[in-house]
Amino acid sequence: MASRTVAAIATLLGVTLEELVQRALSAGDPAGAARICIEALGPSVLRYLRSVLRREDDAGDAFSVWAEGVWRGLPGFRFHASLRTWSFALARNVAHQLIDQPWRRRAERLVTGQASALAQTIRTRSVLVRERQHQALEELRSTLDEMDRTLLALRLDLGLSWAEVAEVLSAGGEVVQVGTLTKRYERLKERLGKLARERGLIDDG
């Protein structure tokens, strides 16, 4: 089940993710509890690992190790902290180990099992979603004029400060004020958000 399905089931039953996992553990189904946890929190954990580790291969290896850690560790989890906090603490520890000891990445690739298989499924699904989102965003950008595309590229893609963006855009001779740019950027975000909702790329839920 995908993370949205897990969330939908929890909402339908009127329970939290923790309660859903606890029910599975109480029923003597630790594997089912681990699947629920990995499916629900895996996409967020994978985004975190990609952000920290930067390389897709490293993030993928760390994600598999994280999933195995959840699979093994969840039966002993006492819920003194939130499941989300525990999961991200585990992911951070895995990331640190990989950064500090690169050799671990090669060794951990030998890990197999249901958790690793599930992690690979989530990772593959995530890559496909990212590709579709990227294509959709590029199509949205193609509807913008040159100034707005440049503004997005400088500010969003390259991460330039507003002062730097203003300096670049003023190089053509006409002085561009930072205040003018920020207002245009806010209007641009609203317009893109509206277009994205119209095309079903995002929802308000």
For residues 94 and 107, is the Cβ–Cβ distance under 8 A? no
Quick one: pLDDT at residue 131? 61
Domain boundary among the residues 133, 161, 176 is at 133
Residues 78 and 153 in one domain: no
User: What is the number of domains present in the chain?
Assistant: 2
pLDDT for 4 equals: 47
In the predicted structure, residue 129 carries a pLDDT above the cut 60:
no
Judge whether 21 lies within some domain.
Answer: yes
**pLDDT over 60 (residue 103):** no
DSSP secondary structure, 8-76, as one string: HHHHHHT--HHHHHHHHHHTT-HHHHHHHHHHHHHHHHHHHHHHHH-SHHHHHHHHHHHHHHHHHHGGG
Whether residue 26 lies inside any domain: the answer is yes
The confidence score (pLDDT) of residue 56 equals 81
Considering the domain boundaries, does residue 204 fall inside one? Answer: no
Per-residue pLDDT band at 110 (split at 50, 70, 90): very low
Q: What is the pLDDT of residue 93?
A: 86
Q: What is the pLDDT of residue 178?
A: 92
- What pLDDT is recorded for position 1? 44
Q: Is 63 left (phi over 0), alpha (psi -120 to 50) or beta?
A: alpha
Residue 20 has pLDDT above 60, yes or no: yes
Residue 182: per-residue pLDDT: 93
Average pLDDT over residues 159-169: 85
Do both 103 and 183 map to the same domain? no
Whether 95 and 49 have beta carbons less than 8 Å apart is answered as yes
Instruction: Give pTM, 2 decimals.
Output: 0.54
* Lowest pLDDT segment from 2-11, 12-21, 71-80, 142-151: 2-11
Q: Would residue 24 count as lying in a domain?
A: yes
For residue 88, tell me if it sits in a domain. Answer: yes
More confident residue, 128 or 37: 37
Percent of the chain with pLDDT over 90: 14
168 near 160, Cβ under 8 Å?
A: yes
CA distance 146 to 115: 47
- The predicted structure's pLDDT at residue 3: 46
Question: What is the average per-residue pLDDT within 117-127?
Answer: 67
85-97 average pLDDT score: 88
Query: Under a CB-based contact definition with an 8 Å cutoff, are residues 116 and 68 in contact?
Result: yes
Residue that is last in its domain, among 77, 110, 133: 133
Is 118 in the same domain as 147? Answer: no
Q: Are residues 60 and 37 in the same domain?
A: yes
183 or 165: whose pLDDT is higher?
A: 183
**Is 195 a residue whose pLDDT tops 90?**
no
**Does pLDDT of 60 surpass 90?**
no
- Residue 67's domain comprises 3-133
